[in-house]
Amino acid sequence: MDDLNIRKSGRAGRITFTRTKALNALTHDMANAIRTALVGWRDDPDVDLVIIDAEGDRAFCSGGDIAAVYRAGLAGDHQVGRDFFRDEYLMNAAIADYPKPVVAFMQGFVMGGGVGVGGHAGHRVVGDTTRIAMPESGIGLIPDVGGTWLLARAPGRIGEYLALTGARMGPGDAIHAGFADSYLPEAEWPAVIADLERTGDATRIMGITPPPAPLASRDLSAFGGRDVAQIVEALEQAGDDDALKPIRRNSPLSMAAGLALVRAARGDRRMQESLAREYHFTWRATEQADFIEGVRAQLIDKDRNPNWTADASPEQVEALLAPLGEHELHWEEQA
């Protein structure tokens, strides 16, 4: 397909994002194509590992292409979004559980759906331009694509901080927070990829000392608050305007649900549990949350002035995260 270059090269299966004009945003067809390629290579004796990278210097993958989901939801068709999120999550889980090494080279923007592709690889390489974020609360969604699993495993209260603010991490912070493994200058990536193609040996990736991680020394104790209101109160007392600014801008419902999801994910044994819980929200998002308004303000009209109206009460959060019954994700579909 035009948006991905999927091929075999040497001992490697190669998946390269080629949708550079759209910052390699992930479409439904792209998500399905990635999963199909992984299934095809699982038992292929010629493929020892999988390499996922991207063309262009601005983005590995800037997120999911949700324009179609928005248009359908606006017209009252909520199944388009449900199908997209379901298939995307099945692809995320396929990467996380893949029996062969998956290596992701993530430059530029790696956000939302991009984290769902690169963030679950077994070997995650970042460089100087890398900027990783889960900014979904700014569009009325929640950290998904297994993002709550990653956020829940970040040290201290980094997970809550990133979920509520959508802050971007450079390479040092990404490694510190557990969203990446190795730092290498991007000029070296082509030679490393060529070596991986030749040898099929992911253990040959030798990162160097990453840049500093500002999050490692930042006081995030306020994010241990019981709920968003308590967190905001603590941030106000601390005078942390850098954190307060995005929190005051983002969807109250999305932040409340995201906070609950990150904390629930700390008890999960497998990423699939976190994905299934995220799907409870995203299955309902186009119909019951701030998603339509958030996408309008940030991506369609681009006035950056969303009118959040969704109920953000604990009761509503609980309702949006309730089980889906017959609509629950079924992981056996990956067979």
> What percentage of the chain has pLDDT greater than the value 70?
99
Mean pLDDT of 306-325: 96
* Residue 64 designated active-site: yes
The yes-or-no verdict on residue 335 having pLDDT over 70 is no
Given the residues 53, 65, 88, 136, select the one marked as catalytic: 136
> Does residue 13 carry a catalytic annotation?
no
Q: Is pLDDT of 208 > 50?
A: yes
The yes-or-no answer on residue 113 being catalytic is: yes
Domain that holds residue 56: 4-334
Residue type, 148: T
Q: Report CA torsion sign: 326, 153, 180, 253.
A: positive
Question: Would you state the pLDDT for residue 331?
Answer: 78
> Sheet harboring 131-133: ordered strands across?
59-61, 109-111, 131-133
Residue 210 and residue 218: Cα distance in Å, rounded?
18
Of 65, 88, 144, 197, catalytic = 144
- Helices 241-249 and 158-165: crossing angle, nearest 10°? 50
Distance CA 240, CA 248 (A): 12
**Closest by CA position to 51, among listed 113, 110, 118:** 118
Query: Residues 141-198: pLDDT tens digits?
Result: 999 999 999 999 999 999 999 999 999 999 999 999 999 999 999 999 999 999 999 9
* Cα 197 to Cα 243: distance, rounded to the nearest angstrom: 43
136 noted as active-site residue: yes
- Position 264 pLDDT exceeds 60: yes
243-263 pLDDT tens trace = 999 999 999 999 999 999 999
Q: Which of 10, 13, 63, 64 is catalytic?
A: 64
Q: Inform me whether the pLDDT recorded for 282 exceeds 80.
A: yes
Confidence category of residue 333, pLDDT binned at 50, 70, 90:
very low
Helix/strand/coil for 132:
strand
Residue 1's pLDDT is 75
Residue with tokens 């690889």: 121
Q: How many structural domains are present in the chain?
A: 1
* Cβ-defined contacts of 308-314 (< 8 Å, 24+): 308/140, 308/251, 308/252, 308/253, 310/140, 310/251, 310/252, 310/253, 311/253, 312/228, 312/251, 312/252, 312/253, 312/255, 312/256, 314/227, 314/256
For residue range 1-26, list pLDDT tens digits in order. 789 999 999 999 999 999 999 999 99
The 10s digit of each residue's pLDDT in 102-111 is: 999 999 999 9
Give 263: exposed, middle or buried? Use CB within 10 Å, 0-12, 13-18, 19+. Answer: middle
Catalytic hit among 10, 113, 140, 258:
113
pLDDT tens digit sequence for 39-76 = 999 999 999 999 999 999 999 999 999 999 999 999 99
What CATH number has the domain bearing residue 149? 3.90.226.10
Cα–Cα dist 85/26, whole Å: 11
Coil, helix or strand at residue 150: helix
